[in-house]
Amino acid sequence: MPLLEVTDVTVQFGGVKALSKINLSLEPGEFCAVIGPNGAGKTTLFNVLAGVIRPTSGSIRLDGEPVHHAKPATMRHRGVARTFQVSRVFESLTVVENVAIAAAGQRLLSPSRALRRYRADKDVLARVDQLLLDTGLSHVAGTRADALNIGDVRRLDIARALAGDPKLLLLDEPAAGIGADGMRSLGALITSLRGRGVSVLLVEHYVGWALSLVDRAVVLDMGEIIAEGLPDSVRADPQVIKAYLGSSGEEHSADENGPAQSEANGERVHVSENVTTPRHFGSGGNEPGGALLEIRDLAVNYGHVSAVHKVDLTVAAGEFVTVVGANGAGKSSLIKAVMGLVPAAGRMTLDGRDLLAAPAHRRTALGVGYVPEGRRVFSGLTVEENLKVAATAQPAVVSQLIDQVFEMFPSLARRRNQFAGNLSGGEQSMLAMGRAMMVQPSLLVADEITLGLAPVVVDELFEHLVRMAHSGVAVLLAEQNAAVALASADRAYVMEVGTMTLSGAATELRRNQRVIDAYLQMA
């Protein structure tokens, strides 16, 4: 009998199907990876199994018993333990105490049973001690969890999950942010769990790393399982590669840039295919060859985690530059650093003026427009109010700017008095772009504009970005959907684990096998 049996599980959030009819089974002692691009439904599946989210329909059986109405604590008592994507250790407690809570078992069933000094439970503490030894944490046993480095925090999260000898261990992106060395030693730790008889379900975006640790892999995309099998067969599956890189670039330009497309679009395709070096569109006012945005040696750190490391990047006036890379590569952190939303070190100038010294709200005045990830329109304001709020110019100029935005996005003009919250995802993206244009930027920075949008809408948004670049506004776009981004941009950077590993003309990178490797994290 399989340990875990997931049958036809569907999860619906409002109108969105996060998971649709998922079937999955796991034998005792089996190690299985769940991979898939951002937004594929990995985290939702994980939360369903951990008892955080109830499936809309379908059933989950553990050892043959249905469990789909269980809560996290119940799941834990039934033998399903989990770790957290952003490790959630108990910061004010020591490593021993963190693990002891999870190892307490029956002691924690009710407050009255818990009225016993924990130090008196030598058997529990002995188990904790052994577990710390097994997970390589003995040397920090008495250290408070908030003083640990990120690698030890991950180990602690796993040690805590292992306490109480679970039958099934759910690991939620354990490799995030721990670096190459950390991944090696964490991989060794995960492999060492095979002796325990525990089954492991590993959700991970470092695909190559994850596949090296498991017996079997399941690939999710858009809430469905698109491939399943041995690690090697999954790795070579063209459908998997397509899911990671987005719709294939070649097909994209052949199928969709038909005669119905705008002339500007046709010209763009023609031009970009002939270009191998950065080139500049007309009216930016900069000398040819002069960089508008210049980044040198940029670093972004979150506590112990290094998200961006030694990054150099330039964007010329009127140029469309994209930064592609897998989820977690550091793209968003880079964009946020340009906008001043995360502390960054290094050098960053826009048109010769220092950007790093300026706080975020001053950077708009210096000429940076920002399209945040997830759009973040003001849903309680109308479309027009959203634009007005962002404006910094004189009232007379503002109405001109609004007209320009409406000219650029006619579908917004039709909805100018509707609440932004009632717009479709694509329209909200346009509004976010339009809002960024209200500060009259010389550089537009955008973060993952395709997330959760239909391919047709994605194409339309990219047309707008190309047109913006043509009109002289430089564009810096961080995008996971590499196929579409590389088809539209002039130049591209490939980002992996916080650094730029490749850069060049977008058209050339489209044919580069290294980009595929970067996405599947084979390096």
Partner 1 sequence: MSYFLVIATTVVIYAVLSVGLNIAVGYAGQPHLAQGAFLGIGAYMVAVFSTRYGLSFWLCVLIAIVVTALSGFVLGVISLRLRDDFLAIVTIGLNFVVVAIFQYVPWFGGATGVYAIPLPSIGGHEFGNPEFLLLGLVMLAISVAVSGYISRTWLGLGLASIRDDELASASSGTPVASFKIAAFVVASAIAGMAGALYAPFLSAVTPTSFGFTESIVMLAMVMFGGVGTIRGAILGAIVLGALPEAFRFVSDYRLLIFGAILVLVLRFQPHGIIGTDSAAANAWKRLFSRPPKTEYDASCNDAASAMSVAVHGEPEQPGDGKD
CA-wise closest residue to 431 among 462, 385, 393: 385
Residue closer to partner 1, measured from CB, 152 or 496: 152
Q: Are 191 and 8 in contact (CB under 8 A)?
A: no
Query: Which residues ranging from 125 to 164 are in contact with partner 1 (CB under 8 A)?
Result: 125, 128-129, 132-134, 136-144, 146-147, 160, 163-164
Query: Among 64, 117, 277, 410, which residue sits at the site for partner 1 (rule: CB under 8 A)?
Result: 117
Return phi, psi of residue 219, to 5°: -110, 125
Residue closer to partner 1, measured from CB, 143 or 499: 143
Q: How far apart are CA 436 and CA 364, in angstroms?
A: 9
Element (H, E) at 240: helix 238-245
Taking CB under 8 A as the rule, which mask of x and - marks residues 175-214 in contact with partner 1? ----------x--x--------------------------
**Piece in contact with partner 1 (CB under 8 A), picked from 101-109, 290-298, 373-381, 496-504:** 101-109
Return phi, psi of residue 260, to 5°: -70, -20
Query: Among 53, 93, 241, 358, which residue sits at the site for partner 1 (rule: CB under 8 A)?
Result: 93
Q: How far apart are CA 172 and CA 200, in angstroms?
A: 11
- Interface with partner 1 includes 97 (CB under 8 A)? yes
Residue closer to partner 1, measured from CB, 97 or 460: 97
**Angle subtended at Cα 332 by Cα 244 and Cα 382, rounded to the nearest 5 degrees:** 100
- Interface with partner 1 includes 85 (CB under 8 A)? no
- Interface with partner 1 includes 165 (CB under 8 A)? no
Q: Are 22 and 5 in contact (CB under 8 A)?
A: no
Residue closer to partner 1, measured from CB, 109 or 456: 109
**Piece in contact with partner 1 (CB under 8 A), picked from 86-94, 304-312, 349-357, 412-420:** 86-94
Q: Are 401 and 391 in contact (CB under 8 A)?
A: yes
The count of chain residues that interact with partner 1, using the rule CB under 8 A, is 61
Q: What is the b/e burial string over 464-479, where b = at least 16 CB atoms within 10 angstroms of the residue's CB?
A: bbbbbbbebbbbbbbb
In angstroms, what is the minimal distance from the CB of 177 to partner 1? 18
Query: Which residues ranging from 33 to 72 are in contact with partner 1 (CB under 8 A)?
Result: 50, 52, 71-72
Dihedral sign for Cα 133, 134, 136, 140, please.
negative
Residue closer to partner 1, measured from CB, 163 or 227: 163
DSSP for residue 484: H
- Interface with partner 1 includes 118 (CB under 8 A)? yes
Distance from the Cα of residue 112 to its chain's centroid: 43
Q: Which residues contact 112 (CB under 8 A, 6 or more apart)?
A: none
Query: Which residues ranging from 229 to 288 are in contact with partner 1 (CB under 8 A)?
Result: none
Residue closer to partner 1, measured from CB, 5 or 121: 121
**Piece in contact with partner 1 (CB under 8 A), picked from 107-115, 207-215, 333-341, 430-438:** 107-115
Q: Which residues contact 439 (CB under 8 A, 6 or more apart)?
A: 364, 365, 367, 368, 369, 390, 391, 392
**Piece in contact with partner 1 (CB under 8 A), picked from 123-131, 254-262, 333-341, 414-422:** 123-131
The residues that touch partner 1, with contacts defined as CB under 8 A, are 50, 52, 71-73, 75-77, 81-82, 84, 88-94, 96-98, 100-102, 104-105, 107-111, 113-119, 121, 125, 128-129, 132-134, 136-144, 146-147, 160, 163-164, 185, 188
